Chain A
Amino acid sequence: GAVVSQHPSWVICKSGTSVKIECRSLDFQATTMFWYRQFPKQSLMLMATSNEGSKATYEQGVEKDKFLINHASLTLSTLTVTSAHPEDSSFYICSARDFGAVRANYGYTFGSGTRLTVV
């Protein structure tokens, strides 16, 4: 099945620094990837849709200059949290869909997530 690899699994950074999170589709090409953020005991909130070769589409309220998304290839999307602050501490998860998969039970596959702690 479709596999999405996300790194790092966890990261601790100092306030004001930047952190890059990578999301790779391992066995399929993903023209579109999604970035979510999940605070404790909350559901997933879509931050942005990453499109290969073009600009990402950000959800309302998400600062595009703070959360930089690059989707330079069909298998890699990156999310960079710039000038991180403690309130950015959260669980960040990427997702992609293998449109070539058999329809029977296809869905969006999630990466393992990145727990970001800003101190």
Chain B
Amino acid sequence: QKEVEQNSGPLSVPEGAIASLNCTYSDRGSQSFFWYRQYSGKSPELIMSIYSNGDKEDGRFTAQLNKASQYVSLLIRDSQPSDSATYLCAGSGAGSYQLTFGKGTKLSVIP
């Protein structure tokens, strides 16, 4: 069974610090990975997608993928209180359009 694991948190970081969110996956066939942010009572919104080993940067966000270790991470630089949310990691396998979601990590950025 395909699984995506995340530490549920909560993860608390002070404003301006780097928040590091981690995710592991069990399906070696997974090829595409996504990080979503979900505010309480709202639907998820896409932050980053990553398909290749290495880092991918977009503004304050950096996604990292290590397929050998089956590990995906999201770094948030200069964390802001508005970044406080639950972050969902998701992966999809080869030839599959379905996403498998982790349970999410709740991030709190303390002013």
State whether A97 and B42 are in contact (beta carbons under 8 Å apart), knowing that A43-B102, A105-B58, A108-B34 are contacts in the complex.
Answer: no
B104 CB contacts on chain A under 8 angstroms: 43
Complex Cα spacing A106 to B47, Å: 10
B interface size (C-beta, 8 A): 20
Complex Cα spacing A19 to B85, Å: 30
Interface 1/0s, chain A 49-80, versus B by CB < 8 A?
A: 10000000000000000000000000000000
State whether A44 and B34 are in contact (beta carbons under 8 Å apart), knowing that A49-B98, A112-B42 are contacts in the complex.
Answer: no
Give the B-binding residues of A (Cβ under 8 A).
Answer: 6, 32, 34, 42-44, 46, 49, 91, 93, 95, 97, 105-113, 115
Extra 13 A-B pairs, beta carbons < 8 Å, given A6-B43, A113-B42: A43-B101, A43-B103, A44-B88, A46-B99, A49-B97, A49-B98, A95-B99, A105-B49, A105-B58, A107-B46, A108-B34, A111-B43, A112-B42
